[in-house]
């Protein structure tokens, strides 16, 4: 994939800042709900970085790595899990969903967006990591 096409596919300026602020608010809100839910801080600490294990998919190749990373760092699964946790009054399910969403918000606030298959550093929020000099 042409790196220039990927670079053209990310947000910039005020929109990028808004998306990062949304991530910060998501992180803070899910953490606050977790506190209100009286969740265990040991569970929070243990599970907070579990979604980052999806990095291991990059050992296969960038396309598969991006697919797995994006599946784990999308709002889809944790929102479904949170809905089930509330609906079924399942505390552990709800706790996992809140922690998972807090993690995604934390990543987005730091600028780690969903990945393009061109490589880990190519995200919808812009390039991350060191850039090679032209």
The per-residue pLDDT string of the chain (134 residues; one tens digit each, 9 = 90 and over) reads 444 444 556 778 898 899 999 999 999 999 999 999 899 999 999 999 999 999 999 999 999 999 999 999 999 999 999 999 999 999 999 999 999 999 999 999 999 999 999 888 888 888 887 665 44
Q: Which residues contact 12 (CB under 8 A, 6 or more apart)?
A: 126
Cα 25–chain centre separation:
13
Note the pLDDT of residue 97: 98
> Which pLDDT belongs to residue 9?
64
Q: How far apart are CA 56 and CA 51, in angstroms?
A: 10
Nearest by Cα to 20 from 95, 108, 97 = 108
Whole-structure pTM value: 0.88
Per the CB < 8 A criterion, the answer to whether 97 and 37 are in contact is: no
The pLDDT value recorded for residue 1 is 46
């Amino acid at each position: 994939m042409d790196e220039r096409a990927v670079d053209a596919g990310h947000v910039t300026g005020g929109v990028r800042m808004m998306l990062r602020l949304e991530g910060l608010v998501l992180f803070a809100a899910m953490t606050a709900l977790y506190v209100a839910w009286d969740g265990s801080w040991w569970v929070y600490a243990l599970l907070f970085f579990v979604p980052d294990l999806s990095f291991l998919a990059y050992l296969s190749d960038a396309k598969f790595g991006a697919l797995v990373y994006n599946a784990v760092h999308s709002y889809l699964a944790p929102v479904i899990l949170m809905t089930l946790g509330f609906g079924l009054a399942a505390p552990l399910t709800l706790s996992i969903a809140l922690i998972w969403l807090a993690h995604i918000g934390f990543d987005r606030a730091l600028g780690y967006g969903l990945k393009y298959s061109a490589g880990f550093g190519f995200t919808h929020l812009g390039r991350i990591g060191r850039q090679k000099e032209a």
